[in-house]
Amino acid sequence: MAAAPKKAFPLRLDPALYAAIERAAASDLRSVNAEVECLLREALARRGVKLETPVAARRGRPPKEEEA
């Protein structure tokens, strides 16, 4: 099953808030975008909002195609 494309949108943040997110992302070995997504999921979970489990990105090389 293919995952729906992610929604892209501009987000304006206070520079100090962005810097704090950037530091947290670096300590978690994540991108800033992944950190924001993680923080939003955690905040929604604390509010009791149920979300589907995200589809993990496929890693590694694609399987070789068999020759016909």
Calpha distance 42→36 (Å, rounded): 10
Q: Based on the number of CB atoms within 10 Å of its own CB, is 21 exposed (0-12), middle (13-18) or buried (19 or more)?
A: middle
Q: Based on the number of CB atoms within 10 Å of its own CB, is 10 exposed (0-12), middle (13-18) or buried (19 or more)?
A: exposed
- pTM, to two decimals: 0.70
Report pLDDT digits (tens) over 8-45: 999 999 999 999 999 999 999 999 999 999 999 999 99
- Top pLDDT among 52 and 14 is at 14
Do you know the residue count of the chain? 68
